[in-house]
A and B are shown apart, each in its own frame.
Chain A
Amino acid sequence: EAGVAQSPRYKIIEKRQSVAFWCNPISGHATLYWYQQILGQGPKLLIQFQNNGVVDDSQLPKDRFSAERLKGVDSTLKIQPAKLEDSAVYLCASSPRTGVGSNQPQHFGDGTRLSIL
């Protein structure tokens, strides 16, 4: 089984520029997550999709961050314009469909390390 694929692995941009990250989840996984992990902290959920619908984006800074999941498969996360505090690793994860009382572990990609100059 192929894992979660993310690209690029590394990205360096200047503040106020824009950047986009791509994620291809494990085939058949209905739930897709984007996390932000700042150095020394645990992953923080930015947005969660169930198929192609958003179920939680309460911690997504919507003035600069956007995400979409086309056809319920691949997803892109965009930052525009970037700020210095956006320097972090952006992790994508997927899991089979979850529901009340139906819990599944998440499978993570290796992340994109973003540096803002």
Chain B
Amino acid sequence: DQQVKQNSPSLSVQEGRISILNCDYTNSMFDYFLWYKKYPAEGPTFLISISSIKDKNEDGRFTVFLNKSAKHLSLHIVPSQPGDSAVYFCAASDSFTSGGYQKVTFGTGTKLQVIP
């Protein structure tokens, strides 16, 4: 049961252009959404998050959009840089139905390649 889905395994973008990474979820009880970035041989690094009560959160070049009715979120990177080349994981958590603790479910990841 894949509750968090990233349907694009890879994405290539030219340097300076916008990168858009997409994520869909099925569990309507998710109340917190996160994006992590992962370089080879390293652990995932937290990038940006959004609460279910918001529809947009921005941090520098990174913006996350949440569409609760469509159960869809996206990560926009503008402008894209070669150092952004990594695997991006979407994650979602549900703290209300998990006995009061935060239970996080990850997607399968999208490999972004930014071409110089």
**B45 partner residues in chain A, CB cutoff 8 A:** 108
B65 part of interface (Cβ distance < 8 Å): no
Known contacts A40-B108, A42-B106; is-contact A108 B101 (Cβ 8 Å): no
Cα distance A59–B43 when bound, in Å?
Answer: 21
**Total interface residues on A, using CB and 8 Å?**
30
**Total interface residues on B, using CB and 8 Å?**
31
**B43 partner residues in chain A, CB cutoff 8 A:** 4, 91, 93, 108-111
Q: How far is the CB of B10 from chain A (nearest CB, A)?
A: 11
Choose one: B42, B102, B105; the contact of A95 (CB below 8 Å). Answer: B102
Cα distance A56–B102 when bound, in Å?
Answer: 10
B93 part of interface (Cβ distance < 8 Å): yes
Cα distance A112–B90 when bound, in Å?
Answer: 22
Chain A interface residues toward B at CB < 8 A? 4, 31, 33, 40-45, 48, 50, 55-56, 91, 93, 95, 98-111
Chain B interface residues toward A at CB < 8 A? 4, 6, 31-32, 34, 36, 41-46, 49, 51, 89, 91, 93, 95-96, 98-109
Not counting A91-B44, A98-B95, a sample of 14 additional A-B residue pairs whose C-beta atoms are within 8 angstroms of each other reads: A40-B108, A42-B6, A42-B89, A42-B106, A48-B101, A50-B101, A56-B103, A91-B43, A98-B102, A99-B101, A102-B102, A103-B95, A105-B46, A111-B43
